[in-house]
Chain A
Amino acid sequence: MKAPSISSWFGRGEIAAPPDIESAALRSDRFRIEREGDWRRLEDIVKRMESGGLRRIADEDLIALPTLYRTAASSLAVARETSLDAATLAYLEGLVQRAWFQVYGPRQGFSRWLRDFLLGGWSRAVREIWLDICIALFVMVAGAIVGWLLVAQDEAWYYRLVPGGLADTRVPGASREDLLATLATEESAAGLSSFAAQLFSNNSGVCILAFALGFAFGIPSLMLMVHNMAMLGALLWLFAGQGLLTEVSAWLSVHGTTELFGILLSGAAGLHIGRAMAFPGTRPVLAAASEAGRRGAVVMVGVVIMMIVAAILEAFPRQLVEGTGNRFVIGGAMLIFWLSYFFFYRPRRALENEG
């Protein structure tokens, strides 16, 4: 038994020379001594990849990696049939597994993934869940109509649907002037940027919740969307009662086209997972769920980006830009931008991403 040398504690020590091959009594140990150098080199490369990514590895090592990995894998296969040295077998199994994680690991880092995501991956994922988007859209429109009808029948519903903090002067019976005042602009931009950051954090939290709840077969996602949209329907009813429907729509559309689109997408992504789990088709449930989950995750990263845009729109242009026409222009432009980005922007899939 050799005591571990100090150098082995600090990073890469010297690779110990294997013992003399002639002194080994066993054929399986001679097999091992012949290949040990390759194994240790592979271990060293893998260790450096694990600790520092690809940049710190020489080109020749990187080129050698697949070959060394296959050598180690075939050594393992041979050793299993010829050697009874349990410790060597355990080492080889561990080594091949570690190398496998590197050779077949995530092929791209975060920044590379983000680039592919923006240039096509996002819109492709959105198009893939078109059916769920249609269902979610239907549910959202239905939710808004339900909210409107409920409040129209009984004003008490308004207080249940709209939380008090959000609607301060916006209550049934408010005068036209009061309502108009809530649609007015702020005089300066001071305070609006922190308002935007708060909005973003809050809204994207709601969206992630809508997505994650899809896990329960999508039903909670739908309920969350109905609730949110009923609130919107109630608000619309309130302003319509004073003949302000166009004004409030313009006010909402500035950020609403982006924000509601984001909520729509996150609900659809949640629904997509729920639908895949409820109706997996010929695939196993776990396979169907993970496939849908990965597609939904791509959509969700996009939703977070949409929430950033929506929060900026909500805090600045909505509070600063006056005039129904101007507000409609901003909201409409955003809607057209999103629609064309998702449904008309179809770059050719890069070859390396296939499969």
Chain B
Amino acid sequence: MSAAAKPLVADKRARMLVTPEGIVLPIMLASRGSRAGALILDVIIIFTSAIAFLLALIWIAGGMLEGTALDPSGAPQGAKEFLQILLVLVLFCGWYGYFLVQELGPRGATLGKRITGIRIAARGGGRLTAEAVIARNLLRDIEIFYPLIALLVVLVQSQNGEDVGLLGWAMTGWFALFLLFPFFNRDALRAGDIIAGTWVVERPRAKLPEVLSTQGAAAVRGASEVTGARYSFGEAELAVYGEKELQTLERMLRDAEPAALATVHATICRKLGWEPGAGDERAFLEAFYAQLRAKLEGDMRFGKRKADKFS
């Protein structure tokens, strides 16, 4: 594939994925920031719902105490125990199930990942399996939560005057090791990704845009709506620009403000040696775009590609 087909900006996060059909698909690895953001969102969601659940249980337990003149020993034993078991089991299942069930679903993403627009995928284009999702989620515990909790415990102990020695530093080192892990490999993998054979990628969300060559002056018999003029460009004038400029112009035609179009119009006119007029920039650019693209695509069919204006 020639240079023109590569993305305009060589991005360090861009990877190529080959589907079983042999189609090369560009994918974008998720940035470390969005992954951290997703994790923080997920933890907030889990903690908020855990606290809500706890409050609900306390409320129910309060209801149990009411009939017993607020004497805890008078509360029904069985019901109290049931609530305790419920709490332990729900916390355990919530903690592991939250990540597992959502990442196994068709979106391959937890709520936090969906909000930040990322999802997990099998590294190298394979099939994402349930085992992989389980492995990457089990590892998350030792990467972040065990060292954090252990660190808190050690801090509390040293506050109380106990001698903890180097344990605090060891825990900090452990935490830092796994936290910085994604910064020391090319694909931003965390330890769980390595074990599971997964990576985290950005979710594509391009919408199908309008067809440009059916609109305005770009269409077959298109003419300017303002002046009625039909622009046509000669071979030499169309040879000035290449594919890179064409696609920049396409982006401008799709999204840019009229003021920006006027600047582009003036630049192109000067390059072609024309006298830039005013008031009919859009029609001029549409016609130029359509004819330039027709020429470049025609050349392309004969295997001739022109990457940009310098080539």
Contacts and interface: CB of A to CB of B under 8 A. Distances in A.
Contacts of A215: 139, 142, 191, 195
Contacts of A100: 19, 25
Given A77-B23, A197-B88, A85 B212 contact: yes
B191 A287 contact: no
Interface in A170-228: 190-191, 193-194, 196-198, 200-201, 204, 208-209, 211-213, 215
B128 interface: yes
A110 B17 CA distance: 27
A18 B25 CA distance: 26
Nearest to A276: B195
Interface string A8-42: 00000000001110111111110011001001100
B213 interface: yes
Contacts of A301: 134
A87 B106 contact: no
Contact of B208 (A36, A73, A106, A290): A36
Nearest to A293: B195
A7 interface: no
Interface in A89-126: 90-91, 93-98, 100-102, 104-110, 113
Contacts of B267: none
Interface residues of A, number: 86
Classify the interface of chain B: helix, strand, loop or mixed.
helix
Interface in A77-93: 77, 80-88, 90-91, 93
A327 to B, nearest CB: 24
Most-contacted residue by chain B among A108, A197, A200 (CB, 10 A): A197
Interface string A29-68: 1001100100110010000011001000000000000000
B120 to A, nearest CB: 10
A201 B195 CA distance: 24
Contacts of B205: 94
B11 interface: no
A295 interface: yes
Contacts of B134: 297-298, 300-301
Interface stretch (B33-41, B48-56, B161-169, B292-300): B292-300
Contacts of B183: none
A87 B139 contact: no
Contacts, number: 222
Given A25-B213, A93-B204, A106-B127, A193 B19 contact: no
B214 interface: yes
A211 B135 CA distance: 10
Interface in B9-35: 17, 19-21, 23, 25-27
Contacts of B19: 73, 96, 100, 104
B304 interface: no
A286 interface: yes
Interface stretch (B218-226, B231-239, B268-276): B218-226
Give the interface size class of chain B: 35 or more
B5 interface: yes
B204 A97 contact: yes
Nearest to B135: A297
Contacts of A107: 127
B240 to A, nearest CB: 16
Most-contacted residue by chain B among A82, A87, A208, A301 (CB, 10 A): A87
A25 B105 contact: no
Contacts of B229: none
A209 B146 contact: yes
A33 B220 CA distance: 15
B138 A297 contact: yes
Given A25-B290, A32-B211, A211-B138, A94 B206 contact: yes
Contact of A97 (B25, B127, B254): B25
Contact of A289 (B25, B84, B195): B195
A191 B248 CA distance: 72
Nearest 6 A/B pairs, CB to CB: A290-B197, A94-B204, A293-B195, A297-B135, A294-B131, A212-B142
22 contacts: A18-B211, A20-B214, A24-B211, A24-B214, A24-B219, A25-B214, A26-B290, A29-B214, A49-B106, A77-B23, A84-B246, A101-B119, A104-B19, A106-B104, A191-B77, A201-B88, A208-B142, A289-B194, A290-B198, A293-B196, A293-B197, A296-B135
Interface of A: 1-2, 18-20, 22-29, 32-33, 36, 39-40, 43, 49-50, 53, 70, 73-74, 76-77, 80-88, 90-91, 93-98, 100-102, 104-110, 113, 190-191, 193-194, 196-198, 200-201, 204, 208-209, 211-213, 215, 273, 286-287, 289-298, 300-301
Given A19-B214, A106-B130, A295-B131, 17 more contacts: A23-B219, A29-B213, A86-B251, A91-B209, A94-B206, A98-B204, A101-B108, A104-B127, A106-B129, A208-B138, A208-B141, A215-B139, A293-B132, A293-B196, A294-B197, A298-B131, A300-B138
